[in-house]
Structure 1
Amino acid sequence: MGVAVGDRLREERARLGLNQEAFAQLGGITRNTQGSYEKGERNADSVYLCAVAKAGVDVLYVLTGARLLRAVEGLGEAEEQLIRQFRTLSDYDQKAVHRIVDAMSEVTRLSAVAK
């Protein structure tokens, strides 16, 4: 894991708004180990990477510098941000977002039909 990987890991942690201690807990490691990952002194293992991926980290980006959603789905930055934020919501809140978007989509559809 080079310095660039550590920098991207730190960037993802900051994007999620977490300090090293909280982020380390998500990954099942100590704050000191998190710091060594971010400095490029140690390599993260697959257990850690899977754990932080579940918390919303784009592991492909951390490892390669290429954003997963953008690369796979051709999403723009704003769309990618919405998806990342959506994935951090509880199931209840995700269902509420679906209801809101469905209602907005229906209004748009009816407006287009009325024209």
Structure 2
Amino acid sequence: MSGIGARLREERERLGLSQRAFGEIGGVEPNAQGKYENGDRTPKADYLAAVAAKGVDVLYVLTGSPTPVPIENLSEVEEWVLGSYRSLVKEDQDAILRLTTALAEYKATYAVEKKSAPQED
């Protein structure tokens, strides 16, 4: 399952709510909530506004792209790097993400191996 319904379910589960509780927040019955999540119905703006007020990332629900988190207190160089990254095409951004993820995984693995290695006196 993909689309708005699946992402709506993800957000509900992320918040740890039942369909009934989530539906109440949005002002709908549990069966309507189930239909939204199954893709049988599309939620209306008032429902989305209500769940957004409780912490749902509605941009993510509607588009599949999470709401960007503002980054504060960056140096001039960091602002430039971030701006340069954001100006790249999506494929290049994805490549950079894969590279940085691989480097982070390598570092985590290396740190674990280094900690578990016998210490020489």
TM-score (norm 1): 0.59
The one-letter code of the counterpart of 1:9 is L
Residues 93-115 of structure 1 show CA distances to partners (whole Å, capped at 9, x for unaligned) of xxxxxxxxxxxxxxxxxxxxxxx
Partner residue of 1:9? 8
Contact preservation (8 Å) 1:13, 1:23? yes
C-alpha distance 39-74 of structure 1, shift in aligned 2 (>3 A): farther
Residue 4 of structure 1, CA deviation = 1.3
1:1-115 alignment, distance < 5 Å:
3-70=2-69, 73=70
Q: Name the SS for the 2:43 alignment partner.
A: coil
CA distance in 2, matches of 1:74, 1:67: 15
Which is higher, the Rg of structure 1 or of structure 2?
Answer: 2
Structure 2: 5+ residue stretches without partners: 73-121
Q: Distance in 1 between matches of 2:27 and 2:2?
A: 22
**Offset at residue 3 of structure 1 (A):** 4.2
Instruction: Give the root-mean-square deviation of aligned CA atoms.
Output: 1.7
Q: Indicate the structure with greater helix content.
A: 1
- The number of equivalent residue pairs is 72
Residues 3, 40 of structure 1: alpha-carbon distance in 2 compared, 3 angstrom cutoff: farther
Gaps of 5+ in 1: 76-115
Query: How far apart in 2 are the matches of 1:29 and 1:8?
Result: 18
4+ long deviations beyond 2 Å: none
**Residue 49 of structure 1, CA deviation:** 0.3
